[in-house]
Amino acid sequence: MRSVLAMAAIVAVAGGAQAASITNVVTMNGAGSEPGVGQIYSALTGISLANNAVNQVGAGSGSVGIGTNTIAGRVSDDLDGVWFDGTIDVGFAALYWGNANQAQGSANHSFGVTQDNGAVSTLFNAGPSHATTLGDVFTGLGPFPTTSELRFVAQNAASGVTANSDADNNAGRDRMITFDITGLETLNVSAFGGIDIDLTALPALGEGKGTFLLFFETGSDNDFQDLVVLAHNVGFGRNVPIIPLPSAAGLGFLGLAGLAARRRR
């Protein structure tokens, strides 16, 4: 596995205290020959999720994982817009890039982070025109100031569309959905021609942190698989207290920052 040093962010989690909010994946089966969100999630995690079952909190939950951990699945969309509180040793990786109606996709993207809605700091570029391989993991470096609000940003080089994790920065349109996969041991990125990721070999999770899949919509078809990113060892929420979650309740999320020093494992 390839690694790079990147950076880190954020805090916390949520439970049943907040009403669930779901942004619907409209083109559930993917455009043309592209796979849908459910197919991509199932291939990567080994947890069965039908394309037409993704639009609910807890979708994709399952008992696959480390020990007795239960994978929590789809996160409520009112939780994953703004991130807080830096930590150390966060990992990110591109897992799939969509578009052009191809099974393995052909879209070039940049992925980055903003602090307090400032300029975007690019963390990596992904797609067939870039050296980044599906499954390349960027880890390390951090943290951001704990007073900063963090937002994650994917930009499609072809369409020019920028997808911000905060819907307020997309004219009110939510362009990112999140799945909590904390406890999963392996991501099967080779299903899309990439490098499988041994999640147990990544930095140990800090308190209140988790492992997440981010699905971005950077086009107009609302299939939410134009760029899929792993975010490891992060937490989310607007100062929401950390609550242990049994299974499909709403959960934690990500954080990040600047690149540095590549190494190959």
Token pair recorded at residue 85 = 């509180």
Report angle CA 108, 3, 187 to the nearest 5 degrees.
75
pLDDT in tens, 31-43: 677 889 999 999 9
Burial class (CB in 10 A: 0-12, 13-18, 19+), 64: middle
Q: How far apart are the first and last CA of the chain?
A: 5
Pairing of strands 73-74, 109-115: unpaired
**Cβ neighbours for 20, distance < 8 A, ≥ 6 positions apart:** 57, 76, 78, 250
Burial class (CB in 10 A: 0-12, 13-18, 19+), 29: middle
User: Domain spans of the chain?
Assistant: 2-175+182-245
176 pLDDT band, cuts 50/70/90, is very high
Neighbours of 219 (CB within 10 A): 21
Helix (H) or strand (E) run with residue 45 in it: helix 37-45
| Higher-scoring residue by pLDDT: 22, 207 | 22
Q: How far apart are the C-alpha atoms of 163 and 258, rounded to whole Å?
A: 19
pLDDT in tens, 84-139: 655 545 677 777 776 555 545 677 899 988 888 999 988 888 887 887 788 888 76
Q: What is the pTM of this model?
A: 0.79
Task: Judge whether residue 20 has pLDDT over 60.
Answer: yes
